[in-house]
Amino acid sequence: MDKYQFVRNDNEGQLIHSDALEVHFMTAAIAVGTDEANVPNATITVALAGISASQTIDFLKNTQDKNSEHFENPNFKLTSCYTRFEVDFDRPQTQSMLETELQFLDSLDQAYTGLSWQLGKYIFMLSQQLVKHSRDGVVLSITAFAEPGQQTPPSIEDLIESVQAMGFIPVQLSFAISAPNLPRKIYTNGANYYFDHPSFGQVPGGISYIDLSTWDGRCRVYDESDLRYFDGDDIELIHRPSLNVSFYRGTLKENNDILDRSNGDISLIIKNEPITNVYSEAKLILNQNPAYDRAEGFRITYFFNRFSASFTDTLHLQSVVQFIDRIEKQIVGKRIAVSGSQYEAEIRRKFLLEGSEQTTFYIRLHSPASKKTRLVDLKAALHEFAFLPLFQAIQIEASGLPTKLYSNTGETWVSTEFSIGNLPSDMNYVALRNFGSESAWAGEDKNFSAGVDVKNTGA
């Protein structure tokens, strides 16, 4: 178990942000079960969309060209970190793994599979091949099972304590290089700074994560709305009329695919300011906050509905065409898991039209699994997905500066009936629970009603 360690959090090394290592959260889940002796256990899975094996090799070779003194040292060490799990490779192993894509994947799989550590009365083990480099990204599977030989079998409370002790799972990919008498460099998808978290100590900044510290022992699916961020201050809400959106009309219908699985197709037509105005607003916000894009850890994020696209520089703000292209490349086709169901939500088509004051937004709720889904499953997913916010916002953040969220909503956070936490005040949303498990909806084409299906989070 000495092979396992959390990502180094003692400022031991220079953090260097790299766009090439960008990864995106797809989904995470905790499944709870029991073994043959009826002792509780759990499996934690995390899926990230990341760079391919060939792209990773190219990145490492480029890093080698820039740091030849490190790589040529006989005591060179490469440390790979997926989420928060590190493995070291010496110089011969590194040279071998960079020769072919197959050798690279085999090296990672052999190093990571079976990696284990102990927390409380449970042993946690990476239980399958960690790295699946493809368009599907990276999949991590961790099994938590009771340490053998205990006189008193662990209880569900012991399992909860052990999982909570793990703390968090960051959406992180990094590679560190080190050699004697040379600076340790950590290339990461996060920021160039460390952040002091009140519960987890010193961690790399600018990274999103799933918080396990409050897990309650039940099966749980996490989606993008569950992500938190290693950043300093609370998010400040600022209303901007130029970001206003309003409901025009929308429809919901059941759509069975060729495998006769029950899917849900949602279309929303929203009245909005032209995207050219939103682009101008983004530039104005940066002009009014000149310290941000010059600071470490800078990020600007565009939110539309429940989806988002981020920029770590201002290159894509040089023209409205680049702005739209960057947003749609990140949002269109992106899938977010629907908590507590087999379904994913996906934006199906491009939706931003330059100069238009009307946006048509297509979302499909569908199951990627082979299991056949019925209308009852779709209605359960609609209940869990709960709402579609009529929300448009621009957020700016940077190390040492307050995070600011400019939006079409009110300027306070309010509690709601939904499980994802507080939401902005005075935010309209389409109530999908009107068509969920407890509704009379029978799969027919349904037009959303502004007076019935569109609600507000309140003041």
Distance, in Å, from the CA atom of 44 to the CA atom of 126, rounded to the nearest integer, reads 9
Q: Is residue 325 part of a domain?
A: yes
Same domain, 384 and 311: yes
Same domain, 346 and 271: yes
Among 208, 229, 250, residue at a domain's last position: 229
Same domain, 188 and 327: no
Same domain, 159 and 285: no
For residue 38, what are its two tokens?
């009826």
Same domain, 137 and 182: yes
pLDDT digits (tens, 9 = 90+) for 287-313: 999 999 888 768 888 888 888 888 877
Structure confidence at residue 7 (pLDDT): 36
Q: Is residue 66 part of a domain?
A: yes
**Residue in the structure block whose two tokens are 């700016």:** 396
Q: Is residue 179 part of a domain?
A: yes
pTM, entire model: 0.54
Strands 40-49 and 138-146: antiparallel
Among 206, 229, 252, residue at a domain's last position: 229
Same domain, 66 and 27: yes
Domain hosting 434: range is 236-456
Q: Is residue 400 part of a domain?
A: yes
For residue 264, what are its two tokens?
């849900």
Same domain, 181 and 224: yes
Q: Is residue 4 part of a domain?
A: no
Tell me if 162 sits within 8 A of 122, measured CB to CB: yes
Q: Residue 283: phi, psi to the nearest 5? A: -65, -40
Among 185, 203, 229, residue at a domain's last position: 229
Q: Is residue 436 part of a domain?
A: yes
Structure confidence at residue 273 (pLDDT): 83
Same domain, 124 and 98: yes
Q: Which residues of the chain have pLDDT under 70?
A: 1-12, 128-137, 192-199, 201-202, 231-234, 297, 337, 339-341, 353-355, 368-371, 399-400, 418-422
Distance, in Å, from the CA atom of 414 to the CA atom of 423, rounded to the nearest integer, reads 5
Task: Count structural domains, the chain.
Answer: 2
Same domain, 186 and 257: no
- Could you tell me where the beta strands, DSSP code E, fall in 290-442? 299-304, 307-311, 335-337, 344-347, 358-366, 387-389, 392-398, 401-407, 413-414, 423-424, 428-431
pLDDT digits (tens, 9 = 90+) for 109-132: 888 888 888 888 999 998 765 555
Same domain, 331 and 403: yes
Q: Is residue 289 part of a domain?
A: yes
Same domain, 279 and 169: no
Q: Is residue 7 part of a domain?
A: no
Same domain, 220 and 360: no
For residue 271, what are its two tokens?
């009245």
